């Protein structure tokens, strides 16, 4: 991609990574991603906001052809997909000074071996004058690292939002064209990296609320010319109220747990509760994370391996605990051959969620009529919790 104008004197630079399918050796990227950097030219000085993942340095430098001087290199975030090319840019533009938060500076020095003498820290709310254009730096820690900030350009009402409001989505268009197409990748992105910091992001949204933003320019994915679309979505995702939804990550070794999940799914549906279920033998874990943004209840279905939960379930439970969703209730269902500690193990793995436990159903062998009745009782219990929480209408 060539340099692309956003407005007069402000351009997108960066790279579209069509083929990337895994991030941090953990996060699936079914839609690829992009690495967005921005060039802001004032009458007196020029700033580059963020860089690109190192494999795309050559593309960035091709876009910088004709740029004679960069005075400021703004590092909103120290992670390599943003800052990995900072050192190379500093080599090419020896006059450039890196601007970042105080917590970001040691990260750049330690992780990327940037010369500390070329890094200047900025306070929350501090500004620099480019000549007719002003950059204001707004500290937003834990979006999604402790050192992050965003950059506000008031004269053009542009918000360079770093990872906030981003999406892992490779596309040729610079701006969002189809909000329906962008919604799911943006929600998935939020679920996978932002959800653990939901409470902080609530406060950060309020901190940004007074600015009349015309375009949100994130570090990944297309730019938002209708900021209300993504801001309203974030307000929904970060809210304290879950939806009338049960998420069921499960796996089955000899079909017993699968039969239990099928029965519970039908029982919940009969009681007016939506269900999203995820077979952990084949599920993209990002899809589970996305469901956890909304789910009021998490039910984990597991067979017993030796005396504990299936390893895939252990992994999913660990991730759910790390993601800190707003779910309020939880349960465990599954089967065992001779003994089980699966319920205690799973409960310990998700203890950070502080879920209210609804009567687990662990059975010996394949399910019988009495076991299906116990699953009906579990569905009744979940329905009662959802009604009490105002998520499910009272049938009376």
What is 16-37 written as a DSSP string? EETT--EETTTEE-TT-EEEEE
**Greater confidence, 31 or 380?**
380
Domain C-terminal end among 194, 217, 238: 238
Look at residue 120 and tell me if it is in a domain.
yes
Same domain, 122 and 37: yes
- Rounded to 5 degrees, φ, ψ at 248 are -125, 95
Mean pLDDT of 269-285: 96
Same domain, 233 and 256: no
Domain count, the chain: 2
Mean pLDDT of 24-49: 93
Q: Which helix (H) or strand (E) holds 208?
A: helix 198-208
Nearest of 116, 109, 128, 123 to residue 71 by alpha carbon: 128
Look at residue 393 and tell me if it is in a domain.
no
pTM: 0.94
Look at residue 392 and tell me if it is in a domain.
no
Look at residue 295 and tell me if it is in a domain.
yes
Same domain, 75 and 153: yes
CATH number of the domain where residue 76 is located:
3.60.15.10
Look at residue 391 and tell me if it is in a domain.
no
Residue 270 sits in which domain range?
247-386
Same domain, 109 and 75: yes
Q: Lowest-pLDDT range, 17-21, 70-74, 206-210?
A: 17-21
Of the chain, the percentage scoring pLDDT greater than 70 comes to 100
Domain C-terminal end among 213, 238, 263: 238
Is the pLDDT at 146 greater than 80? The verdict is: yes
- Listed in sequence order, the residues at least 6 apart from 343 whose beta carbon sits closer than 8 Å to its beta carbon are 332, 360, 362
Q: Which helix (H) or strand (E) holds 313?
A: helix 311-323
pLDDT attached to residue 396 = 65
Same domain, 172 and 63: yes
pLDDT attached to residue 195 = 97
Whether 350 contacts 238, CB under 8 Å: no
Domain C-terminal end among 238, 264, 281: 238
Is the pLDDT at 22 greater than 90? The verdict is: no
Mean per-residue pLDDT of the chain: 96
**CB-count exposure of residue 22 (10 Å: 0-12, 13-18, 19+):** exposed
Is the pLDDT at 302 greater than 80? The verdict is: yes
CATH number of the domain where residue 363 is located:
3.40.50.360
Q: How confident is the model at residue 28 (pLDDT cuts 50, 70, 90)?
A: confident
Look at residue 307 and tell me if it is in a domain.
yes
Look at residue 207 and tell me if it is in a domain.
yes
Same domain, 201 and 116: yes
Instruction: Give the span between the Cα atoms of 142 and 149, in whole angstroms.
Output: 9
């Amino acid at each position: 991609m060539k340099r692309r104008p956003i407005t007069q004197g402000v351009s997108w630079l960066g790279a579209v990574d069509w083929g990337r399918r895994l991030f941090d050796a953990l996060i699936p990227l079914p839609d690829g991603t992009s690495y967005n950097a921005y060039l802001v030219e004032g009458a007196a000085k020029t700033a580059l906001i963020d860089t690109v993942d190192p494999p795309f340095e050559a593309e960035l430098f091709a876009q910088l052809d004709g740029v004679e001087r960069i005075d400021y290199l703004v590092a909103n975030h120290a992670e390599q997909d943003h800052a990995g090319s900072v050192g190379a840019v500093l080599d090419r533009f020896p006059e450039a000074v890196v601007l970042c938060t105080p917590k970001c500076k040691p990260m750049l020095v330690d992780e990327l071996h940037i010369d500390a003498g070329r890094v200047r820290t900025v306070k929350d709310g501090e500004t620099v004058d480019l000549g007719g254009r002003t950059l204001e730096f707004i500290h937003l820690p834990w979006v999604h690292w402790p050192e992050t900030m965003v950059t506000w350009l008031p004269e053009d009402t542009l918000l360079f939002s770093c990872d906030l409001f981003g999406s892992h989505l490779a596309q040729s268009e610079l701006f969002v064209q189809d909000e329906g197409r962008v919604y799911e990748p943006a929600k998935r992105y939020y679920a996978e990296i932002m959800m653990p910091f939901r409470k902080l992001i609530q406060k950060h949204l309020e901190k940004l609320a007074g600015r009349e933003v015309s375009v949100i320019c994130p570090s990944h994915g297309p730019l938002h010319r209708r900021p209300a679309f993504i801001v309203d979505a974030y307000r929904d995702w970060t809210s304290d109220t879950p939806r009338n939804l049960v998420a069921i990550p499960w796996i089955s070794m000899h079909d017993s747990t699968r039969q239990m999940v099928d029965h519970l799914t039908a029982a919940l549906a009969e009681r007016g509760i939506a269900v999203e279920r995820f077979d952990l033998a084949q599920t993209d874990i990002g899809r589970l994370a996305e469901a956890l943004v909304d789910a009021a209840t998490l039910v984990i279905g597991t067979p017993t391996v030796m005396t504990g939960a299936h390893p895939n379930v252990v992994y999913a439970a660990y991730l759910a605990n790390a993601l800190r969703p707003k779910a309020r209730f939880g349960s465990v269902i599954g089967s065992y051959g001779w003994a089980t500690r699966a319920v205690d193990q799973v409960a310990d793995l998700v203890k950070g969620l502080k879920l209210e436990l609804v009567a687990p159903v662990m059975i010996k062998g394949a399910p019988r009529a009495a076991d299906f009745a116990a699953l009906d009782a579990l569905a009744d219990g979940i329905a009662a919790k959802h009604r009490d929480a105002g998520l499910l209408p009272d049938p009376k």
